[in-house]
Amino acid sequence: MSEEPLSSAVHDRFNLTESPADRHAPRLAESPAEPFTDAAAAGQGLWQACLEQLAQDLPEQQFNTWIKPLTAQMAEDFSRLTLFVGNRFKLDWVRAQYAGRISALLEALSGQAMALELALAPREVVAQSVGRPVPRSAAAVAPASQGVRPGLAEAAPAGAGENPDSPEGAGGTGGVQRTRLNPALTFDTLVEGSANRMARSAALHVAARPGHLYNPLFIYGGVGLGKTHLVHAVGNQLLQERPEAKVLYIHAEQFVSDVVKSYQRRTFDDFKARYHGLDLLLIDDVQFFANKDRTQEEFFNAFEALLAKKSHIVMTSDTYPKGLANIHERLVSRFDAGLTVAIEPPELEMRVAILINKARTEGAEMPEEVAFFVAKNVRSNVRELEGALRKILAYSRFNQKEVSIQLAREALRDLLSIQNRQISVENIQKTVADYYKIKVADMYSKKRPASIARPRQIAMYLAKELTQKSLPEIGELFGGRDHTTVLHAVRKIAGERQQLTELNQQLHVLEQTLKG
């Protein structure tokens, strides 16, 4: 390793006056440069180079949330770089997820051993950053004055005064379009993240060019994840560009009801006029068609009629097409013929963005550290997240107290109590062992084959994520392992979760199983 003093090494290695296009990676400067004369300049130069590399290595949302807000300070003897973090939750997360990568990068860039220290930022620095807007990549939010609901997942009341049984309910024959769309659910009011990015992109494409690619578009995922929001956004976007388009949003149960009424009243001509003449059909929760043969027959007919006239169909379900039970095979094959995309539970950064933005629309400010506290404890879906926020805001107003972590603990004490009772390290070990078909005893053993070591690391990661246990406590429950072993497992699985879709899906299944 080089013995070159850091004060000159940093300046010589990085030409920080280059244009962004020339700085794709840190490189040796082509000409000699004056060395830095103080630690502050050296620290700034080294951290700037580190930031540039991390910006290339990490997803944009992760970089903007965790790394970009950090500020750096070099020790006078150039032996240590201190990174200042806005709050305790961020500090713990950066230490667990990114400290190892940053340390290795600092050493590689500086050419010598470099200690990394994390510390809470001084209050005046935090105060200056509180009002910083969430990056566009993390959330797109309409102004609070519009009364919209960012990230709201499953709320679509029918428009006032509609007659859903009327043939003109789909729009067109009555002169007034009754689309059943909620105008507040648009692409602009949907918080975007890696959990819904592909589904959102496909939905945008459908709204721009209906009847072309991705027909039908089949969106699936658990409750409260934003499926309904997306289908409403497609309809609202199309009507904004083509006000004359015939668009209808409907829940599968309403379609079943319409079929029954058409048979009872012998009004199938009206039924066909309503559904077969649409430009865009948005239908929620098609799993409700199970065991309803007549309804499936009529939906198949409507499906074929719409595709024949190059109209578009967007559907949602709680599972992928081939996972639907008691649905005719020919209908399932139609569902699977277009594009099938999943919406996953929102990741931590997305949950934080949803909470902060939703609080603003409610006329309240949620401190970032409180948003992180809530987001770490409410993980399943957007609907539960918003429910937790409403409890906190109501509790704050009723007791005339400012929103804080302590107030959030009090407001959510029932929820936190249930979680603490239900999820234990022992329960995690048993659930993971059952899922990967190994013995629970393997969780404590010294065996190291990949078929055992991998599930054990996953169980350690889940124990850190879903319980309040410390690293040493978790290590003790895994056969007396050292806390560094647990930390390695947590960092490894967390890093791979961001890269491996299959692992991410497995972890979601395990988390949902553990939360009941």
Q: In what order do the strands lie in the sheet containing 115-120?
A: 71-74, 80-85, 115-120
Same domain, 56 and 174: no
The reported pLDDT for the residue numbered 133 is 37
Q: Let me know whether 163 and 278 are in one domain.
A: yes
Query: Percent of the chain beyond pLDDT 70?
Result: 80
Once rounded to an integer, what is the mean pLDDT over residues 89-118?
A: 81
In a domain, 137, yes or no: no
> Does the pLDDT at position 164 exceed 60?
no
Same domain, 217 and 195: yes
Model confidence pLDDT, tens digit, residues 287-300: 999 999 999 999 99
Mark which of 420, 437, 460 sits at the end of a domain.
420
Residue 1 located in a structural domain: no
Residue 344: partners with Cβ closer than 8 Å, 6 or more residues away: 194, 195, 196, 221, 225, 504, 505, 508
CATH number for position 182: 3.40.50.300
Answer whether residue 153 is part of any domain. Answer: yes
pLDDT in tens, 190-243: 888 877 888 999 999 999 989 888 999 999 887 778 899 999 999 999 999 999
- Could you read off the pLDDT of 371-422 as tens digits, one per residue? 888 888 877 678 888 888 988 988 888 888 889 988 998 888 877 765 555 6
CB 205 within 8 Å of CB 230: no
Position 453 in a domain: yes
Q: For residues 78 and 366, is the Cβ–Cβ distance under 8 A?
A: no
pLDDT, mean over the chain: 77
Categorize the per-residue pLDDT at 279 as very low, low, confident or very high, splitting at 50, 70 and 90. Answer: very high
Going by their DSSP bridges, the two strands 80-85 and 71-74 should be labelled as: antiparallel
Q: Are the C-beta atoms of residues 279 and 212 closer than 8 Å to each other?
A: no
Q: Both 381 and 497 in a single domain?
A: no
User: Residue 367: which CATH number?
Assistant: 1.10.8.60
What is the value of pTM for the model shown?
0.53
Task: Work out how many domains the chain is built from and give that number.
Answer: 4
In a domain, 135, yes or no: no
Query: Is the pLDDT assigned to residue 169 strictly greater than 80?
Result: no
Residue 112 has pLDDT above 60, yes or no: yes
Q: Band the pLDDT of 18: cuts 50, 70, 90.
A: very low
Asked if the structure places residue 139 within a domain, the reply is no
Q: Tell me the C-alpha distance between 373 and 79, whole Å.
A: 34
Same domain, 402 and 440: no
- Do 82 and 211 lie in a common domain? no
pLDDT at residue 39, as a whole number: 67
pLDDT of residue 193: 80
Question: What is the structure's pLDDT at 149?
Answer: 33
Q: Are residues 197 and 334 in the same domain?
A: yes
In a domain, 25, yes or no: yes
Domain boundary among 309, 342, 375: 342
Average pLDDT over residues 21-48: 53
Q: Could you give the angle at which helices 39-57 and 6-13 cross, rounded to 10 degrees?
A: 40
Q: What does each C-alpha distance from 372 to 287, 354, 376, 493 come to in angstroms?
A: 35, 11, 6, 21
Q: Which domain CATH number covers 85?
A: 3.30.300.180
Judge whether 218 and 341 are in contact, CB under 8 Å: yes
158 and 277 fall within a common domain: yes
State whether 163 and 124 are in the same domain.
no
Within this chain, do residues 192 and 99 fall inside the same structural domain, yes or no?
no
pLDDT at 447: 78
* Average pLDDT score over residue span 478-502: 87
Domain range holding 121? 6-129
CA 40-41-43 angle, to 5 degrees, is 65
Do residues 168 and 180 share a domain?
A: yes
In a domain, 437, yes or no: yes
Q: Of the candidates 391, 420, 449, which is a domain's last residue?
A: 420
Residues 181 and 294 occupy one common structural domain: yes
Tell me what pLDDT residue 123 has. Answer: 59
Q: Please choose, from the candidates 57, 52, 46, the residue with its C-alpha nearest in 3D space to the C-alpha of residue 112.
A: 46
Evaluate if residue 150 carries a pLDDT over 60. Answer: no
Position 20 confidence tier, pLDDT thresholds 50, 70, 90? very low
